[in-house]
Structure 1
């Protein structure tokens, strides 16, 4: 197989078109088109479905891109490391991280990493949706309690838990009387919070008076006293210590675990390894208190 043709195929697949790949890399569009056609001819397969305005990978093309794109990147990185006489992290590192973690800690973490590894060009995208790491070109993804994925490997680097909190001036009602509550969008249909306290378990009926898209926004509204909230302890631990919020109980439910995920087919690059080590240094115990230190 012609490695140059394979490299050009992966360029076109990565950028989603011959014109885009040519503009991004400075390669002639005609050359890219010819090389891809030669590769298709040598394999006896059609790698792209070519429409008038749309270029889409075939099933065979997608498999080839997934299995060879990362390997070619590793070859380039290895050659660059050998040429420079070392294996220092370098190049582009694209990360997708969830909204709350990004709001609390990612800015400081990214800045510290950039200072430590100036030859790495770090790009962080904030989003809670699931992403396709191969199609969207991410090297590393951080997610909360991700669904199992046989195509990815990863590790937990941080744990947290939910607590129900309120402004000291908001009195918890007795019995089944609903308390005003501030909720995030995903929790709007919840009718009650099940909590654990030193005296046992109970259920707090809620009446959502505010529905907000960010847990930071929920915390700020709860601070003012408009309603109670169910929030990560890392986000409110300073308020609890200062007495500006009071804890009504620990929310029952699964533990919050933050994972780092990356494609299992890919050899772990120096820059990904460096970022994983950097997270381990930042959160050696993986505890909520360590994340709380980033909260302002």
Structure 2
């Protein structure tokens, strides 16, 4: 397979058209078109569906792009690094991170990384949905308890757990009582939460009186005494230590795991490797207490 033709195919696929790829790279549009046509002939496959004004990857073209884009990028970076005598990571690094982690820790992490690697252009976007890394052009994504994905590999870099907390001014109901609650997201009416405390397991009936879209807002509402809530221990450790909030128990449920995910172990981008090392340096043990201390400073 002609690597030059494959590289030009990736350029066109990444930019969504021959004209856009030509303008972005300074390459002649006719050359890009000829290279892609030669690649299609060599593979005996149609890689693009060509319309009057649109260009769309075929199923085979999408599969080829997904399997080769990271390799082509790494080969280009390796050649550039060798030509310049090696050295530090450089270029653009796009990361998607969940809302709460972005609000509490990502700004400082990104700033420290930018200071450590001034030749990397870091771009971080916030999204709680499972973004498509290849389709949307991300180099690394951070996800909370992600579902298994055969196309991605990665590592856990932080752990957390949920606790049930309230303002000291909120009285805990009797065994058959119902506590007002602040919850994240939409839902139905009353529900029950399983708690683990020193006295053993119990069940708390709650009535969601306030529904909010972010855990930061939930924490602020709980501080105001509106109701009880389930929140990550790292987010409320300082409030618990100062007595601003009290813990009613640990929430019975799965551990919260933050994963850093990327498309392949092979030819891992130097920029991605540097950011993974940056996360490891910031959170060596990856425990909730470590994240709480990081947020406190």
Same fold (TM over 0.5): yes
Report what 2:27 is aligned to: 27
Moved more, 14-23 or 215-224: 14-23
Residue matched to 2:84? 84
Q: Could you give the per-residue CA deviations for residues 54-108 of structure 1, whole angstroms, max 9, x where no partner exists?
A: 3221121112112221111111111111122224211111111111001010000
- 5+ residue gaps, structure 1: none
Distance 1:189 1:33, change over 3 A: farther
Deviates more, 1:86-95 or 1:150-159: 86-95
Q: Distance between the aligned counterparts of 1:11 and 1:186, measured in 2?
A: 42
Provide Cα deviations, 1:157-189, integer angstroms capped at 9, x if missing partner: 100000000010000111232211110006666
Map of 1:103-142 to 2, 5 A cutoff? 103-142=103-142
Alignment of 1:111-260 (within 5 A): 111-185=111-185, 191-260=191-260
The Cα offsets for residues 221-261 of structure 1, whole Å up to 9 and x where unpaired, read as 10001111100000000000000000000000000010111
Runs of at least 4 residues off by over 4 Å: 186-190
Shift in Å at residue 143 of structure 1? 0.6
Distance 1:167 1:17 in 2: 56
In 2, the alpha carbon distance for the partners of 1:290 and 1:33 equals 53
Count of residue pairs brought into register by the alignment: 296
CA contact (8 A) 1:120 1:271 kept: yes
Determine if the alignment matches structure 1 residue 264 to structure 2 residue 264. yes
Structure 2 residue aligned with 1:75: 75
Once residues 93 and 11 of structure 1 are traced to their aligned partners in structure 2, the CA distance between those partners, rounded to angstroms, is 17
Deviation of 1:37 after TM superposition, in Å, equals 2.0
- Distance (whole Å) between structure 1 residues aligned to residue 70 and residue 23 of structure 2: 22
Kindly tell me: are residues 11 and 265 of structure 1, through their superposed partners in 2, closer, same or farther at Cα, counting changes over 3 Å? farther
Show structure 2 runs of 5+ residues with no match: none
Aligned mates of 1:161, 1:187 — CA distance in 2 = 22
Give the aligned partner of residue 277 of structure 2.
277
TM-score by length of 1: 0.95
Deviation digits for residues 112-162 of structure 1, max 9, x if unmatched?
001011111111111010111111111111111101111111111100000
Residue 277 of structure 1 aligns to a residue in which SS?
helix
Give the TM-score normalised by the residue count of structure 2: 0.95
Distance 2:72 2:219 in 1: 46
Whole-angstrom distance in 2 between the partners of 1:145 and 1:188:
24
1:279–1:189 Cα change, 3 Å = farther
User: 1:47 matched to which residue of 2?
Assistant: 47
8 Å contact kept, 1:165–1:230: yes
What is the CA distance between 1:13 and its match in structure 2? Answer: 0.8
Matched residue, 2:93: 93
- Say if 1:173 and 1:179, in contact at 8 Å, map to a contact too: yes
Q: Is the 8 A contact 2:90 2:121 kept in 1?
A: yes
Asked whether the 8 Å contact 2:153–2:265 carries over to 1, the reply is: no
How many Å separate the matches in 1 of 2:24 and 2:186?
A: 39
RMSD of the alignment, in Å?
Answer: 1.6
CA distance in 1, matches of 2:18, 2:188: 45
